[in-house]
A and B are shown apart, each in its own frame.
Chain A
Amino acid sequence: MTITLFLEQILNGLQFGVMLFLMASGLTLVFGVMGLINLAHGSLFMVGAFAAATISAWTGSFILALAAALAAAAIAGVFMEILVIRRLYGRDHLDQVLATFALILIFSEGTRWIFGSFPLYLDTPQWLSEPVSLPGGILYPSYRLAIIIIGLVIAAGLFVFISRTRLGIRIRAGENDREMIAALGVDISRLYTFVFALGAGLAGLAGALIGAIQSVQVGMGEPVLILAFVVIVIGGIGSIKGALIGSILVGLTDTLGRFLLPIAFGSFMESSSATLIGSAISSMAIYLLMAVILLVRPQGLFGSAS
């Protein structure tokens, strides 16, 4: 094991974590502000990826494709909120789970109906196809590096937005006391639609960025959604900071687990079975991490004890 390979895996973990953050931040905002669990967040991820693949095939421009992903997912989010989600705010979590599960069925089958069952392909742009050399002699794919940078910029932007802007202050106020800010003259239902659309747009952007690494297909959103849930359980519900730390923790654990565990097992058993056992256990690594967090801090690292 060389040190450059190890550093490369850390960057991969960071890239994975940053993508999870784009999903988890929307989920945690929606839960924090509206008290809603949204299983259909993964569908918005998928909508973004399909929009990007379609626009990229038409125009050949990756930037336009990203913009389309953001816009399509945000618009889908607005419709979703106005037509269905709005009726669920006062309901119990079981109703929210079922209604958003129904939305997954509708979105997934609808997408299959329009685009067919075969995966679409979204190419990484030409100008990000060459690897870049980083300090320390690491050659790293520039597209993945771009994802890390985009993700960190968005995370920073989100922090500034939530803590510094007027709208961000209203969102935080809505988290604390929705009756009070409604009484102060804030249009709470427009605020809710905005927060939901913001989360949807981030999910769509994540879908497009990941779609260029993997294939764009129906059902691509749900595995990421469940990982984002793990992130939120680890980070604590409603906390953007928790979502960021949790995402990077999960991203690193998963990537480094897959890389290091087979090597670790290989140090005391023969290599073929070490690879098998190591990879099987590393597929469970993040859930084991979640189990440990549940034992130590059930409310998550940055969650407030309730």
Chain B
Amino acid sequence: MKKSTRELIINLIALSGLLIVPLWAQVTDNPFTITLATKVAIFALAGVGLNIALGLGGLVSLGHAAFFGIGGYAVGILASHAQTYEPLMEWPFLIEGTKLMPIMWVVALVTSALAALVIGALSLRTSGIYFIMVTLAFGQMFYYFTISWPAYGGEDGLSIYVRNSFPGLNTLVPLQFFGICFVLLIICLFINWRIIHSTFGLALNAARQSQERVETVGLNPFRMRLIAFTISGAITGLAGALFADLNRFVSPAMFSWQTSGEILVFVILGGVSYLCGPLVGAAVFILLEHYLGGLSEYWHIYLGALLLVVVLFAKGGIIGALSGKGAAHG
């Protein structure tokens, strides 16, 4: 069997698995499992975002928590203003809070894309090890800023008292909220797939492999990477918005460097630059958290050990091992 066919089969199994588990949980009346599946879908979405920068552009960003947090706070801030009926601003034009998810998503996408554009424009002036350190530092900047800015909860974070609404759906029903997250994940996976096979994606991939050759044919790697980084940040921001609604709470922890590290782990565990790598990685992460966390309070030790083994001995992550391809690229 061709290795790419095997990858396609793994993708289909992973996606249908993510759909079947909550449906089965609905039949057996187990809402907690639906919440876990929703968390998988949201983390996978955050990973899909990072994978566009990392898998396709080769940009090792340790600052994606910034976008995850901005998406989350976009929702938290809009909802808090809707709760208190105080407009965000009255001058030069009136902006009021809202409880409508689609509007919040647009705000989350736009604000995190803007942040990614600025952070990307600065960070992409460097490369390699500098890029890692600079993105990590900018992520930390947002973390400290949210802690020291008391208007929206500061260190304590913000509560969203009632989950925000989507026209025609009851988002308080776990399965319906899962459906929203699942559909958004599918849409972003489709966007990711389209990018991979577009001329833009091919050029980006080429720039990762050999910057000089791409420059020689007249393309601008900086611009391509900046566009990829911006799209990447926007998708991770959308995931942050959904995560805020899942927990009905946002806090500076969303901005912490651990969050950036975990999003990176989803992508790597599943297999970097594989389309469904982030989904498989996020699912494995949540399963480990659930089962190992039940066994031991200190389950992060085992996660660390597993991660070490994957990095040192299994390049290409789980999908790479299952599809027999190894690393998707070297």
A interface residues with partner B (beta carbon < 8 Å): 31, 37, 84, 87, 93-95, 97-99, 101-106, 108-110, 112-113, 222-223, 226, 229-230, 232-233, 237, 276, 279-280, 283-284, 287, 290-291, 294-295, 298-299
Contact = CB atoms under 8 A, between A and B. Distances in A.
Nearest to A87: B312
Given A222-B257, A237-B130, A283-B145, A99 B308 contact: yes
7 contacts: A37-B132, A97-B132, A101-B265, A106-B300, A108-B300, A279-B148, A290-B137
A284 B150 CA distance: 15
Interface of B: 54, 60, 62, 122-123, 125-126, 128-130, 132-134, 136-138, 140-141, 144-145, 147-150, 257, 261, 264-265, 268, 272, 298-301, 303-305, 307-308, 310-312, 315
Given A31-B129, A287-B140, A287-B141, A112 B312 contact: no
A23 B300 CA distance: 25
Contacts of A226: 136-137, 140, 257
Given A106-B304, A298-B130, 9 more contacts: A94-B54, A94-B272, A95-B315, A101-B264, A226-B140, A280-B149, A283-B144, A283-B145, A284-B145
Contacts of B268: 94, 98
Contacts of B310: 98
A169 B252 CA distance: 46
A248 to B, nearest CB: 18
A210 B259 CA distance: 26
Contacts of B125: 294-295, 298
Contacts of A37: 129, 132-133
Q: Which of A99, A102, A284, A295 has its CB near the most chain B CB atoms (within 10 A)? A: A102
A92 B213 CA distance: 21
Nearest to A279: B148
A284 B265 CA distance: 27
Contact of A94 (B60, B261, B301, B307): B60
Q: Which of A98, A110, A113 has its CB near the most chain B CB atoms (within 10 A)? A: A98
Contacts of B301: 105-106, 109-110, 113
Contacts of B144: 283-284
A103 B300 CA distance: 10
Q: Which of A105, A106, A298 has its CB near the most chain B CB atoms (within 10 A)? A: A105
A233 B133 contact: yes
Nearest to B299: A109
Contacts of B265: 98, 101
A97 B264 contact: yes
A102 B126 contact: no
Contacts of B312: 84, 87, 99
B130 A233 contact: yes
B141 A284 contact: yes
Where chain B touches its partner, the secondary structure class is helix
B257 to A, nearest CB: 6
Given A230-B137, A287-B138, A287-B141, A237 B300 contact: no
Contacts of A31: 129
Given A98-B268, A287-B140, A287-B141, A93 B132 contact: yes
5 residue pairs, one from A and one from B, having the closest CB atoms: A105-B304, A287-B141, A102-B307, A229-B133, A106-B304
A95 B123 CA distance: 20
B304 A109 contact: yes
B137 A283 contact: no
A105 B126 contact: no
Nearest to A94: B60
A108 B257 CA distance: 14
A102 B308 contact: yes
B298 A109 contact: yes
Nearest to A91: B311
A221 to B, nearest CB: 11
A254 to B, nearest CB: 10
Q: Which of B122, B138, B299, B304 has its CB near the most chain A CB atoms (within 10 A)? A: B304
B129 A237 contact: yes
Contacts of B126: 233, 294, 298-299
Contacts of A84: 308, 312
Q: Which of B129, B138, B300, B312 has its CB near the most chain A CB atoms (within 10 A)? A: B129
B300 A105 contact: yes
Contacts of B299: 109
B132 A102 contact: no
A108 B297 CA distance: 13
B145 A102 contact: no
A100 B104 CA distance: 36
Contacts of A279: 148
A139 B138 CA distance: 36
B25 to A, nearest CB: 29
A113 B140 CA distance: 27
B264 A280 contact: no
Nearest to B261: A101
